[in-house]
Chain A
Amino acid sequence: MGQQIQAEKKAVVNASVFLTAILVDEPKEVRQGAFQLLQDIVAQKVTIHIPDRFEDEVLGGLVEAVTKGRPILATPTAIFSALQRFIRVATIHHRSIDWHAEEVLQAALRWRVSYYDALYLVVAQKVGATYWTADRKLLRFLQHHRFPDLPLMAWIGDYR
């Protein structure tokens, strides 16, 4: 199983994965997976695909994180610039060009997930990528229901 995951060259990630990399108090296993993924992005071992909304999600999470927590040294703007180093090489999937609101809506109803979840899953399905997330509840739900047309999915803590 782990090997299959390793062989996958395309990955779709959601904002939680990137946020994990800057949240020092999150569990080590989750961060380790996120770090490894970011390393592989730099080393070009993996190509990441993200919807255009990804950046908004990361920024939204960052605003939340600096309000609730405390940045150790860099300003929020610098933290985002640092994260952008890893986003820069991603393939961005644009609304109305690469994905359409209606198909995301249909997918969300079919898979019984939120519109937001469906957006990432639709992108992963389109490009044949594995969807990596820190959200174990979502994975548990989808693994339980086994909808036939879902893309591969995995928990970021399992990324090697």
Chain B
Amino acid sequence: MGHQEVKVVLNASVFLAAMLLDEPKEVSDGAMRMLLDIDSGKVIAHVPDRFEDEVLGGLVEAISKGRPVSAIVFATFLHFWEKFRVHSRNTDWRAEEVFQAALRWRVSYYDAIYLVVAQKVGATYWTADKKLLRFLRQHRFHDLPASAWIGDYR
């Protein structure tokens, strides 16, 4: 129970990775550890409002592929959704700044939303996307927030 606030930004793939049985253990374990820390209040999770669309979109996709997604999964999402600090478009982040950031960092607009939120709140961006991390590390853009692979979350 440290009093220093640890801030994380996570994307939908990290959240869903904690629930997927067939993913590499280090990824789902890391994601699980993060969720438990968020639940206990050890870390504060910041997400853009679009996170909700991304998770629900991912679940729709899973269901349409015939995956057994139960009501518990939705309930788990709602449980965490209440704990997240949600950053709203036009209030906490602006389309224009995300657009400029995406062009500057040469990432997608989607990546940039999460990175911009992380930059604003001084959080680390945790992702399951190794390729993105490799790209960002290679290019060392000076104003990027800290980012890390979810498998390394301790």
Residues 62 to 112 of chain A near chain B (Cβ within 8 Å): 62-64, 66-67, 76-77, 80, 95, 101, 104-105, 108-109, 112
The secondary-structure label for the interface of chain B is helix
With an 8 A cutoff between CB atoms, is A135 at the interface? no
A105 touches B60 (CB 8 A): yes
A63 touches B102 (CB 8 A): yes
With an 8 A cutoff between CB atoms, is B120 at the interface? no
Q: How far is the CB of B113 from chain A (nearest CB, A)?
A: 8
Q: How many of A's residues come within 8 Å of B, CB to CB?
A: 26
Residues 83 to 112 of chain B near chain A (Cβ within 8 Å): 89, 95, 98-100, 102-103, 106, 108-110, 112
Set of chain B residues within 8 Å of A105, measured between Cβ atoms: 56, 59-60
| Chain A residue at minimum C-beta to C-beta distance from B61 | A114
The answer to whether residues A56 and B60 also contact, given A76-B103, A77-B100, A101-B52 and a CB cut-off of 8 A, is no
With an 8 A cutoff between CB atoms, is B20 at the interface? no
With an 8 A cutoff between CB atoms, is B41 at the interface? no
With an 8 A cutoff between CB atoms, is A40 at the interface? no
Set of chain B residues within 8 Å of A52, measured between Cβ atoms: 89
With an 8 A cutoff between CB atoms, is B42 at the interface? no
Whole-angstrom CA separation of A105 from B71 in the bound complex: 13
Whole-angstrom CA separation of A108 from B59 in the bound complex: 10
The answer to whether residues A53 and B60 also contact, given A63-B102, A64-B108 and a CB cut-off of 8 A, is no
A53 touches B53 (CB 8 A): yes
A63 touches B108 (CB 8 A): yes
Which of B63, B103, B109 is A56 in contact with, Cβ under 8 Å? B109
Q: How far is the CB of A106 from chain B (nearest CB, A)?
A: 10
The answer to whether residues A112 and B64 also contact, given A60-B108, A63-B103 and a CB cut-off of 8 A, is yes
Which of B49, B60, B102, B109 is A109 in contact with, Cβ under 8 Å? B60
A63 touches B100 (CB 8 A): no
Q: How far is the CB of A150 from chain B (nearest CB, A)?
A: 16
Which of B50, B63, B99 is A59 in contact with, Cβ under 8 Å? B99
B57 touches A63 (CB 8 A): no
| Chain B residue at minimum C-beta to C-beta distance from A95 | B49
The answer to whether residues A67 and B64 also contact, given A53-B50, A77-B100 and a CB cut-off of 8 A, is no
The answer to whether residues A59 and B56 also contact, given A52-B89, A66-B103, A112-B64 and a CB cut-off of 8 A, is no
The answer to whether residues A59 and B57 also contact, given A52-B89, A109-B63 and a CB cut-off of 8 A, is no
Q: Enumerate the 4 nearest inter-chain pairs by beta-carbon distance, A residue then B residue, closest first.
A: A115-B57, A60-B109, A108-B60, A63-B102
Extra contacts, 14 of them, besides A64-B109, A80-B99, A101-B56 (Cβ < 8 A), are A52-B89, A56-B98, A56-B109, A59-B99, A60-B108, A63-B103, A66-B103, A108-B56, A108-B57, A109-B64, A114-B61, A115-B56, A115-B57, A118-B60
> Chain A interface (Cβ within 8 Å of chain B)?
52-53, 55-56, 59-60, 62-64, 66-67, 76-77, 80, 95, 101, 104-105, 108-109, 112, 114-116, 118-119
